[in-house]
Structure 1
Amino acid sequence: MTALEELIMKKIMFYCQYLAGMGHLVRSTEIIRSLVKDFEVCLINGGQLVPGFKFPQDSQVVYLPAVWEDGNELKPVDSSLTIEEVKESRKQKILTTLEEFQPDCIITECFPFSKHKLKFELVPMLKQARSSEQEITIICSLRDLIMTQPMSEEARTRRQQKVCKLINRYYDLVFFHGDSNLLRLEDSFPSVDNLNCEVYYTGYVAPASKDNLLPHTTKDIIGLNQSEPTIVASVGGGRHGYPLLEAVIAASPILKASLPHKIHCFAGPFMTESEFQKLQQAAAERDNVIVRRFTPRLTEYMEKADLSVSLGGYNTVMNILKTKVRSLLLPSLNEHQSDEQSIRAEKLAGSGILDLLRRDDLEPSILAEKIISSLKKEVPQNSFELNGAKATSLRLKELLHSKVTV
């Protein structure tokens, strides 16, 4: 960076909303962790707070009144407020932040390819940015699979037309956080040729190294310093992960008898308290199982593990690719969710990188057999591009610093 660029540090406002799990939050903060080295970053966080989750230290975080998605309905996390009250409050807070922060760049995570329920606040933000006297670069940060919900061809065409209209009206660039050797944007968005802006492939956004994490607590590293064989079972945010962890705990006596392992289960911050208590009670009868809600060091557990058993969200898959751990992966059990997890998981299973689980495999004896079989396999290898956060930062430096004028 030149002396002039250091003097004029560019500002990036990064909008992130997670409605079911916490995958969007994890990916966004991994990107921000790379951005804060060269930019002043303000994260607009619209999701439910995650106890123990650590944001990049040098970023500013603005918390909107949180919302989540129950089925297909948007709901406030604070049940004392109506959804209309929350919508108006969120919109005004975003517009105020835009006015006060005065960003050189706005990044919207996934919108307008998804999250259309949030148009009430995002379109006003985009309009205000485009009407500003300041030149603001507007970018979409996009995961590798989008618009995978079942719908008619007519509905899919209409949705793609709406996306193209919004992109072409407001956006300068789309960051596609995937590897073209596995998935391309046109695989799930055939209208890509109708976009008038650049689509930049960053590679996958895999988790940062341990050196980039904040200091841990003793609770964060339970079992990490032990030498015994380990299985890690995780379900992302946890709203839909209870059946998988229940099955793992039920299979644990079979595993202990034939192939002893310590099993670390992470239930996720959004699993209901009643489900979490049931898991803890079941684990209390199993001396080879530990159940906790959340760890910020999941990557380290997976590095140590002989096997990962998990749901199939983007960030869990990134952990698998990063650590090269043997993996059993169950695509989401959420009936309202898209086929995104299944499509990605089947692609990777076809490449021999992981093994798939189906709902019928959750019967304890079948699951135990699957786990034992997976543990006997060779450790998988892959050569996917996993430095998407760094590539995003480098492209933004090229793009924004080229606009520096004396």
Structure 2
Amino acid sequence: MKIPKDTVNVFIYVQHLLGIGHLRRASLLAKTMDKAGMSVLFASGGRPVSYLDIGKAQLFQLPALHAADNSFKVLKDINGSIVDDEWKEHRKEMLLSAFRKASPDVLLIEMFPFGRRQMRFELDPLIALAKSMNIPVISSIRDILTTHKTPGKSEWIIDRVKKDIDHVLVHGDPDFIPLEDSFPLAEKIKDKIIYTGYVVEHDQNRDPSYRTSSPEDRKGVLVSAGGGAVALPLAEAVIKAKNLSTLNNVPWLLLLGTNLPDQEFNDIVKRAPEGMIVERNRPDFCALLSKSQLSISQAGYNTVMETLMTETPAIVVPFSADSQSEQTDRAQKLEKAGALSLLSEAGLTPENLARKIDDVVQKSISTIKIDVHGTHKTTLFIKSLIEKKTNQRAIQCPK
């Protein structure tokens, strides 16, 4: 059944606050839905990313905000000023106006209510508006959630899901990491949970970027340190570890996120050792990864999945500030399976990193089987909802 293009089928809301992992995952879904013939309006609330690829989906850029630090408690605008109630009210009205005008078939929200509670000033009224328009609300979440230590927070999430969310799409594989591992109360909403598999660009047979190079054709070390202040400890360690490791004579490429201020970026460029190139993040990351003999990175969802897809030997340093457990949980699971090697933030020194590099290059990695068809399965599910809604309209309004 062909979906009509004269209306917006899917309204995607995503807010990235520190890194761009949420934006990356949502953009892959938007691009896949667009290729499947759906009309997508992509509402992004974070700082603009120049290489964002959402296919032919329509981008609706809200006034940008970001987290002041890794506590995620203080929100700042594009100029670095703390946002006030007037600013929030203005942005909320922009979002609601766009949603009313779009009148989509489906609302897809990244993370909420499992995360992004800082955005309730606009998400609560957005969800209320969708419900008043009889539009299904879907929560899109990653495989592992941050452990909630505040009393009552998990129960609040369950209450909100039962009240406001029609479906929860978990972009993971329950045979590898079930949601219950990080969110024990998931059993209470099991009737709404749908596992899609991991969201990655494509499988190896479709996308040349993922075609694995043979070990003898791989050369060099690729370091992706992420964005913002969280990138600095890894970047500093890498700069000093290069000449201590057995890979000191191969090319090194250090990629830093667009959120890292220019002054700090330029300082790292100046201090990089001979044989190391420092650049901002690149859209051809997967192609670079598939040709590298070693990857060094944090352990975010997207980077780890792309590393596994390209079968690249890897060292990961999970982001764990302010009790963030998601990356550590994922990395520990994968290290146990032999798919990568873990170095904790607490143990991150140039000497420890160099020793870890020397150890990893002597080992072979284990290939693990997980469901990586998240973009395709998510698109099929959303399309089935839209077709069902279209059929219901046809029954209610016969010609």
TM-score, shorter chain, exceeding 0.5: yes
What is the one-letter code of the residue matched to 1:231?
V
5+ residue gaps in structure 2? 210-216, 395-399
Q: How far is the alpha carbon of 1:7 from its aligned partner?
A: 6.8
1:400 match: 386
Query: Does structure 1 conserve the Cα–Cα contact (< 8 Å) formed by 2:158 and 2:189?
Result: yes
Structure 1 CA distance for aligned equivalents of residues 118 and 303 of structure 2: 25
2:336 to 350, 358, 361: 350
Q: How does 1:16-27 map to 2 (within 5 A)?
A: 16-27=14-25
Show the counterpart of 2:293.
306
Shift of 1:171: 1.5
Letter in 2 for 1:207: E
CA distance in 2, matches of 1:211, 1:8: 34
Cα pair 2:338 2:365 within 8 Å, conserved? no
1:239 offset after TM fit, Å?
3.1
Structure 1 residue 195: deviation in Å?
A: 2.3
Root-mean-square deviation (CA), in Å? Answer: 2.4
Name the SS for the 1:291 alignment partner.
strand
Between stretches 234-243 and 28-37, larger displacement belongs to 234-243
Runs of 4+ more than 4 Å apart = 6-10, 209-213
Residue 13 of structure 2 aligns with which residue?
A: 15
Task: Give the Cα separation in 2 of the matches to 1:228 and 1:338.
Answer: 33
| CA distance 1:162–1:361, shift in 2 (3 Å) | closer
Matched to 2:268, the amino acid is: L
Aligned counterpart for 1:199 among listed residues 193, 196, 206: 193
> CA separation of 1:209/1:271 partners in 2, compared to 1, >3 Å: closer, same or farther?
farther
% identical aligned pairs: 30
Identify the residue that residue 99 of structure 2 maps to in structure 1. Answer: 98
Question: Which residue of structure 2 aligns with residue 381 of structure 1?
Answer: 367
CA shift digits 1:247-293 (9 cap, x unpaired):
1111222336x65211110011112223212210111xx23100001
Q: 1:271 aligns with which of 233, 238, 260?
A: 260
Distance 1:20 1:177 in 2: 20
8 Å contact 1:23–1:236 — kept in the other structure? no
Conserved? CA contact 1:205–1:387, under 8 Å? yes
Alignment map for 1:209-224 (pairs within 5 Å): none
- State the Cα distance separating 1:6 from its structure 2 match: 4.9
Q: CA deviation at 1:114?
A: 0.9
Shift of 1:87: 0.9
In structure 2, what residue type is equivalent to 1:243?
P
Give CA-to-partner distance per residue, 1:156-204, whole Å, 9 cap, x none.
xx11221122111221111000111221122222222322752110011
1:331 equivalent among 318, 331, 334? 318
User: Do the aligned partners of 2:337 and 2:366 also contact (CA within 8 Å) in 1?
Assistant: no
How big is the shift at 1:383? 0.8
The two structures have a TM-score, normalised by structure 2, of 0.89
Give the 3 Å change call, closer, same or farther, for CA 119–320 of structure 1 in structure 2.
same
What is the CA distance between 1:212 and its match in structure 2? 9.0
Q: More displaced, 362-371 or 321-330? A: 362-371
Quote the offset at 1:209 in angstroms: 6.4
TM-superposition CA deviations, 1:334-383 (whole Å, max 9, x none):
x2251111111111111111101123543323322211211121143111
Q: TM-score, normalised by structure 1?
A: 0.88
1:130 has 2:117 as partner = no
CA contact (8 A) 1:48 1:66 kept: yes
The Cα shift of 1:398 comes to 1.9
> One-letter code of the match for 2:344?
R
